[in-house]
């Protein structure tokens, strides 16, 4: 049986190790950080994430969806906060039983690692940082905490080591004409906290994803099981009003009082959080190919990091694990073909998701504030209910189905053309009739 060396035991690494372990493969999983169960929390990344249908499906296949969802908080729609303090709730779907789930990254990471460790053929090695991979011999070079150099060889090395993947960088160096593109948004993000209220109460609606849309920037908040909310401010790095120009406590206070007046009283740690928490960057990474012969392969953010505005990066990374597992099962004796098939099935969908995620940033920070947006959502839900199974809003296809991202995106474009075309024709007819009536 083949042996896989996996680099990175983040969200997808743990899950993929479980999938490969279940198939009977020998798996050695190397992670640069310490064991998350010993308090080595994932620093600098979002504390909570939205888990939806694709991710849940991947967890179900390995039998851990219920365990994960036990600690999830359903978010049934967006709660839009206007500057005036006025709130608008916009459901995610026409069906009130459809919702996304707020889950803690650290707990989820532990669950997937423990799922992998249930298989005796899976071994997890924490505190091992991969520095280089020889993609021809499927050999990973690693450094442990004592900075001792080690090598790990297998039939194949799989890079599940996130957006700044060392495995991908090795492929870039060693594969001629390796396609690589990274693009950063002008915005960064900072996490802030709304703690629980008196005696552990919720200070805002629990079952919603809160958004403070402010045109060129926004803040969002997701609920946590301890009744707190993790807020994320997405804001320009540079510019007259930006992270760069907001240096003193007074600057921070003034900005928040002007832009998020209803949130400020709920954020007693605002100044400390703002000072202490890092400002993260938002990158989209596209590359090709995602594999080299039958020796090296990329999964999750290592292959296709996307900006977080569709809440799909992890969901897509989990979907990668399902597809790679299917391909290995379909072509058990030809791993190169299995890798090639996996790449072919996923690449166009990852590219489509990258575009959708950037598009949704504009929708969230700008359009959600407008009446037109709320009217469009109502129209979407009306059409979905009226033409059940025929009309599916884009958000529904991406979040509540497993329709491939590229197909969902294409179908939504066609639907939009038909709907707007029909509205245009209707308006023409109404105008024509009105003109006839006016003539007498």
Ligand X SMILES: Cc1cc2nc3c(=O)[nH]c(=O)nc-3n(C[C@H](O)[C@H](O)[C@H](O)COP(=O)(O)OP(=O)(O)OC[C@H]3O[C@@H](n4cnc5c(N)ncnc54)[C@H](O)[C@@H]3O)c2cc1C
Strand order in the sheet with 179-194: 87-91, 77-81, 209-213, 218-223, 229-236, 179-194, 280-288
* Residue 357 touching ligand X (CB under 6 A): no
* Of positions 61, 111, 284, 315, contacts ligand X by CB under 6 A: 315
Q: 5 is written with which tokens? A: 């060396």
Q: How many Å from the N-terminal Cα to the C-terminal Cα in the chain?
A: 85
Contact 306, 357 (CB under 8 A): yes
Based on CB atoms, which residue is closest to ligand X, 55 or 289? 55
How far, in Å, CA of 434 to CA of 440, rounded?
A: 10
Based on CB atoms, which residue is closest to ligand X, 33 or 57? 33
Phi/psi for 150 (5° steps) reads -135, 160
Among 113, 129, 127, which residue's Cα sits nearest to residue 162? 129
Site string for ligand X, 284-303 (x = CB under 6 A): ----------------xxx-
Among 234, 232, 227, 193, which residue's Cα sits nearest to residue 207? 227
* Of positions 154, 289, 308, 393, contacts ligand X by CB under 6 A: 308
* Residue 10 touching ligand X (CB under 6 A): yes
* Residue 8 touching ligand X (CB under 6 A): yes
How far, in Å, CA of 436 to CA of 376, rounded?
A: 30
* Of positions 317, 322, 397, 412, contacts ligand X by CB under 6 A: 317
Based on CB atoms, which residue is closest to ligand X, 290 or 391? 290
Query: What region, left, alpha or beta, does residue 86 occupy, with left being phi > 0 and alpha being psi -120 to 50 degrees?
Result: beta
* Residue 154 touching ligand X (CB under 6 A): no
Q: Which stretch binds ligand X (CB under 6 A): 27-35, 176-184, 244-252, 380-388?
A: 27-35
* Of positions 5, 6, 12, 80, contacts ligand X by CB under 6 A: 12
Q: How far is the CB of 428 from ligand X (least distance, A)?
A: 42
* Of positions 4, 5, 6, 13, contacts ligand X by CB under 6 A: 13
Residue with smallest beta-carbon separation from ligand X: 10
How far, in Å, CA of 56 to CA of 15, rounded?
A: 12
Residues that bind ligand X (CB under 6 A): 7-13, 30-33, 45-46, 49-50, 129-130, 160-162, 166, 189, 232, 280, 300-302, 308, 311-315, 317
């Amino acid at each position: 049986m083949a042996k896989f060396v996996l680099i990175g035991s983040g969200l997808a690494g743990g899950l993929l190790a479980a999938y490969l372990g279940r198939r009977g493969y020998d798996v050695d999983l190397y992670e640069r950080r310490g064991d998350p169960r010993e308090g080595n929390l994932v620093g600098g990344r979002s504390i909570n994430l939205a888990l939806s249908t694709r991710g849940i499906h991947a967890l179900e296949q390995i039998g851990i969806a219920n365990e994960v969802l036990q600690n999830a908080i359903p978010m049934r729609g967006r709660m839009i906060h206007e500057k005036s303090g006025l709130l608008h709730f916009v459901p995610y779907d026409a069906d009130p039983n459809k919702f996304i789930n707020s889950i803690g990254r650290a707990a989820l990471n532990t669950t997937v690692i423990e799922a992998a460790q249930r298989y005796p053929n899976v071994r997890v090695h924490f505190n091992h940082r991969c520095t280089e991979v020889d993609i021809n011999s499927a050999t990973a070079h690693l450094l442990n905490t004592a900075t001792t150099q080690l090598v790990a060889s297998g039939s194949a090395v799989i890079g599940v080591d996130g957006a700044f993947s060392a495995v991908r960088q090795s492929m870039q160096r060693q594969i001629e004409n390796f396609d690589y593109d990274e693009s950063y948004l002008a915005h960064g993000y900072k996490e802030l906290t709304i703690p629980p209220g008196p005696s552990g109460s919720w200070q805002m609606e629990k079952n919603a994803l809160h958004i403070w849309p402010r045109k060129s920037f926004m803040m969002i908040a997701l609920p946590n099981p301890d009744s707190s909310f993790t807020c994320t401010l997405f804001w320009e790095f540079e510019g007259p009003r930006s992270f760069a120009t907001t240096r003193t406590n007074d600057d921070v206070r003034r900005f928040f009082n002007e832009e998020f007046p209803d949130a400020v009283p709920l954020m007693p740690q605002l100044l400390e959080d703002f000072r202490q928490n890092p400002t993260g960057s938002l990158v989209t990474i596209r590359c090709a190919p995602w594999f080299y012969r039958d020796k090296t392969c990329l999964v999750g953010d290592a292959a296709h990091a996307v900006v977080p505005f569709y809440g799909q990066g992890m969901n897509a990374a989990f979907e990668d694990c399902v597809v790679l597992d299917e391909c290995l099962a379909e072509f058990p004796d030809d791993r190169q073909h299995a890798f090639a098939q996996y790449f072919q099935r996923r690449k166009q969908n990852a590219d489509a998701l990258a575009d959708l995620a950037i598009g949704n940033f504009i929708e969230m920070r700008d359009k959600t504030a407008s009446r037109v947006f709320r009217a469009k959502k109502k129209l979407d839900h009306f059409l979905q209910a009226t033409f059940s199974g025929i009309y599916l809003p884009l958000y529904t296809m991406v979040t509540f189905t497993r329709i491939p991202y590229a197909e969902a995106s294409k179908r939504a474009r066609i639907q939009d053309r038909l709907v707007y075309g029909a509205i245009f024709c209707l308006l023409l007819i109404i105008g024509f009739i009105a003109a006839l009536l006016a003539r007498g």
